[in-house]
Structure 1
């Protein structure tokens, strides 16, 4: 480990010497409230928490989508988890970027530099674990691929681990079907090359509201949501719809549509320098049949008196969208993981997540397996709807399982649903961390309908 961190530290020392003239925070870090704080060359900020009795592991937290100038960096999903991790002996570190949004490009560099700063301030870690939620989960697995000498393991929570390209292709499929079938002449419904994100979101919301008022509209909403692979139980304030309750399932799809399908696109296109999504060559009939919602959509179409074959034919005949190869390449780098890992990764997803959908987990696992690294990967699922709504004890249990894997070199059974539930119960009793109402469950997600990393 010393050799590895000597290299990282030397890199950061150069950055620090440059920063002395440009961003003094990295050279004259502030110790405030027991935390070491400073600024990065990129304009972002960092914070480091040192435990009273360090166990040798460092947790490097990557934030989710959003934020921006002035947002303070955090090191854990909650203050209760921060306190628990410090009591367990973990050092914790995190950054915030200067401009927020889809800041994966900045984070990949900032988190690498942060590992060097931790080594300079606390000494050489024995283990470095990348963790984060949502976009931060994606960043965590991307860090494992980009800097295998700096990161030993990853714990991505509710992360878009299959990456930006397939995630936004799925969104394009949903919005393409929605516009083609419900408002083909409404230019406000921008699909790509978005000029006004706020107006686009408002327009989609308006058409969605009107369509939900008619049987025909409800059927077409369900079709569009299914092509984006939205599951029929997504709302955290609701009971799981009965298998035969097609109306309740459709309401779930409609309620999830704006969040799960009409994803913000303009800020990402601005970073990528163009449109990175395409639907050339997509067979939407096949996509529906493999979406998991085929029977539901067919029932809604029958109830509405609509021809499903006719609407699928309209999608087949509609003009398709091509991507800018340079923009695709940018999003591949920032980030669409390949699955080539050299250390253990434990992904955690909710079965009813809507952005990203749980199918991301299966596609990431397929990529890892293709590289022959499946022995390094384990995947855990919490059976409930929502996005990143884990209890503190659930996250602590997952982290404990990953730490055990690092210490022993074997997964054994520590990451099974049964073991994780038992661990979460023990941790909640011992520490007072919130246990929550959900539970880890055995689950086998479908593959993404659009798993590809690049056009062609």
Structure 2
């Protein structure tokens, strides 16, 4: 059975299983009986509807379809419902339509960490699109941030539906290592600055807004003193926050410890004290732990040991004593059932059957760019190294890509799917050339960054489960 026939069978089964197709604005969806006709062109238009879960979807069709369907998964949202988008922004969507791509996207009916919703919805959305357009030659899962994680999980879980994945600024190593990493930073900050302040909830969060406000209060007070600045740097380093995080600022000199510390401080709340309560609510409990963690060893592996030691010396503090406080503090264990939930929804294994091209900024903090290397490690262990490529833009920020950069990686993955070979397609030089050409031809924003040859450190806490420690 060819991959195209296999996909047609899989998508037809989804439709036949009772998936109700909402009417499209520009064209009517054919019945499941007409599904196998597989035309490779469709009248241009926009269709919107509702999936069985209650999630809203959008399907956009080009004037002449190139045979590829891009299925977009959105990032984390604090609000439920609303209309779906089909890509990261309208300009990229318009470019993709001009290039002949069909685009689909859904917006979960629930707020927060809605990965499980998307994992259920997106294969159904692909079936909606195939029932309307015909069987695609290629189906690509793409998305940003949480949606980037979702895209690689969709490829792992549904190799009969998705041919490749294009995660943008994604937490592709999963929520468990991301929140373990955040726990390390929050734990260190509390134990060293306000150990008795119960407002600084670490896990089993009951009041997320109050927690956020309390951490902000402690953080800002600490930043006003040399001692506090040193401890912020230690806590941020344990969470692997990069030392260049603020958009629009120059990269600090490697010996300018004050400027690096300021970058860590400004990124701390966003990168470390990220919302935990909505994720714990989904998982049914706490899925993070720091039992067995050696924080002295973590500091040595963080890449920031020189910075932290210099700031401690300047403040007249004993780093050994503070690391001793962390070593002696009571540790936090995870709820196994909550860990199991977050593994399934989703902590990728790295076992992939189709090509993945991930895009990251070197100064990303939520998730930290270290997620990229941890995911790559898993893919290597799973034997998929030859079909993974990772691209990096040398710039701080989270999902702040220029439109031409995004278009360049879309084109690159398309060429990989068409030819079956990466060759030098995903190298910084070729990606820069492609982004330059696209910007010149289409008018898409090129931005000021450049693709970089970069390999981040792996996460200090890459575990998928407590047993992996």
TM-score tier after normalising by the smaller chain length: over 0.9
SS of corresponding position for 2:330: coil
Deviation, structure 1 residue 69: 3.1
Question: Quick check: 1:137–1:157 contact (8 Å CA) kept in 2?
Answer: yes
Deviation, structure 1 residue 438: 0.4
Distance 1:439 1:74 in 2: 27
**Cα RMSD over matched residues?**
1.1
Q: Which runs of 5+ in 2 are unaligned?
A: 28-43
Deviation, structure 1 residue 27: 4.0
Deviations 1:191-246 (A, max 9, x none): 00000000000000000010000000000000000000001100002111111111
Size of the aligned set, in residue pairs, is 448
Distance 2:96 2:406 in 1: 11
User: Is 1:264 the equivalent of 2:267?
Assistant: no
Distance 1:2 1:117 in 2: 17
User: Is 1:295 the equivalent of 2:298?
Assistant: no
Deviations 1:293-341 (A, max 9, x none): 1100000000000000000000000000000000000000111000000
- The range that moved more, 64-73 or 112-121, is 64-73
User: Is 1:148 the equivalent of 2:127?
Assistant: no
SS of corresponding position for 1:15: coil
Q: Which runs of 5+ in 1 are unaligned?
A: 20-25
| Matching residue of 1:196 | 207
Give TM-score, length-normalised by structure 2. Answer: 0.94
Deviation, structure 1 residue 407: 0.5
Question: Quick check: 2:45–2:62 contact (8 Å CA) kept in 1?
Answer: no
| Matching residue of 2:79 | 68
Give TM-score, length-normalised by structure 1. Answer: 0.97
| Matching residue of 1:84 | 95
Could you tell me which of 242, 246, 250 is aligned with 1:239?
250
Deviations 1:144-194 (A, max 9, x none): 111010000001000000000000000000000000000000000000000
Distance 1:245 1:111 in 2: 46
Distance 1:168 1:8 in 2: 35
User: Is 1:350 the equivalent of 2:353?
Assistant: no
User: Is 1:43 the equivalent of 2:54?
Assistant: yes
SS of corresponding position for 1:423: helix
Could you tell me which of 378, 381, 385 is aligned with 1:370?
381
SS of corresponding position for 1:128: strand
Deviation, structure 1 residue 30: 4.2
Deviations 1:365-422 (A, max 9, x none): 0000001110000000000000000000000111111111101100000100000000
Deviation, structure 1 residue 9: 2.0
Deviation, structure 1 residue 3: 3.2
Question: Quick check: 1:61–1:76 contact (8 Å CA) kept in 2?
Answer: yes
Deviations 1:417-438 (A, max 9, x none): 0000000000000111100000
| Matching residue of 1:129 | 140
Question: Quick check: 2:65–2:102 contact (8 Å CA) kept in 1?
Answer: yes
Question: Quick check: 1:393–1:435 contact (8 Å CA) kept in 2?
Answer: yes
Distance 1:68 1:261 in 2: 21
| Matching residue of 1:22 | none
| Matching residue of 1:180 | 191
Distance 1:9 1:218 in 2: 59
Distance 1:171 1:12 in 2: 41
- The range that moved more, 63-72 or 200-209, is 63-72
Deviation, structure 1 residue 29: 4.2
Distance 2:301 2:97 in 1: 45
